[in-house]
Amino acid sequence: MLQRKQIIVIGSVVVLMGLMLSLDIQGLVKPNEGAAASNASGPAQEAAIVKEVSLEDISLTAKESLNAGLKKQITDLEAQLKNSSESEKLSIQKQLAQQWDDVNQSTPASFYYELMAEKEPNFDSWLKAGDKFTDAYQQSMDTIVQPALVQKAISSYQKADKIKPNTLEVKTGLGIAYVTGTPNPMQGITLLLDVVKQDPKNLKANLNLGLFSMKSGQFDKAVERFKTVIGIAPSAEAWFYLASSYENMDRKSDAIAAYLKTKEIAADPNMSQFVDRKVNELSN
């Protein structure tokens, strides 16, 4: 029996990749890919009790990583929003969402996209809010905040689905969130499988099915998913996951080749050092 090696992630290039793999996926077991499809508009399985998080607390935490100038810009906009009339709020919320986006802070940005969707409740605005909450929980390392972000993503996608039912975008977002944040991940797996059945080259669905296969130890299935992703849009991320999957299958020569492709595409010193060590390790 092959000993599975821990997937190692280092360097700025692969930080977000590592965060995705570190998500605590509740109850994920080897999925049966022949399971019956699930309806995107159906309710998510009840998750564990999730602690409420406030935008004020999220903002205070996020501002700790900003320089004084950026912190003041956002604090001034927050003060304007607090004292604004109803007719002025949407414009200021959009500015705050953009400010947080500009500094790559998805968590506070997602809360503003939710507020904007509440004021302009159409399909695109709720889909955008869902996607932003997805970015936020995939990037968050806060185990208290993360479940709340998953539930907000689910809620946003469900509101989008009520406006325009059964779109692939919503099914994909819901599928990822259901696997990540509910006790019955098969509900999400079947949604993602339905997406790739309708759209075999769906990048996001294939990538996440590959990631979930890695989490459940099904590296052979993960390899096929990542090869599909690479065929659609080659990236350092996809090659890195493919290399990690090969490594866990003890396919050393394939792992080395894929790690070298990761190094080539990423062109990042940290990644280069990591790949060099990895190639040396796998070659001996």
User: What are 214-254's pLDDT values in tens digits?
Assistant: 989 999 999 999 999 999 999 999 999 999 999 999 999 99
Give the pLDDT confidence score for residue 12 in this predicted structure. 37
CATH number of 1-40+188-284: 1.25.40.10
Q: Mind listing the pLDDT tens digit for each residue in 217-226?
A: 999 999 999 9
Query: pLDDT band at 11, cuts 50/70/90?
Result: very low
In this prediction, residue 142 has a pLDDT band, given cuts at 50, 70 and 90, of: confident
Listed range (11-25, 119-133, 163-177) with the worst mean pLDDT:
11-25
- Cα angle 53, 59, 65 (rounded to 5 degrees) comes to 125
Equal fold, 1-40+188-284 vs 54-165 = yes
Helices (H), the chain: 15-22, 55-63, 68-82, 86-102, 106-119, 123-139, 145-163, 168-181, 186-198, 203-215, 219-232, 236-248, 252-266, 269-283
Q: Is 1.10.3470 the CATH number for 54-165?
A: no
In tens, the pLDDT along 78-134 reads 999 999 999 999 999 999 999 999 999 999 999 999 999 999 999 999 999 999 999
Annotated domain spans of the chain: 1-40+188-284, 54-165
Average pLDDT, the chain: 85
**What pTM did the predictor assign?**
0.81
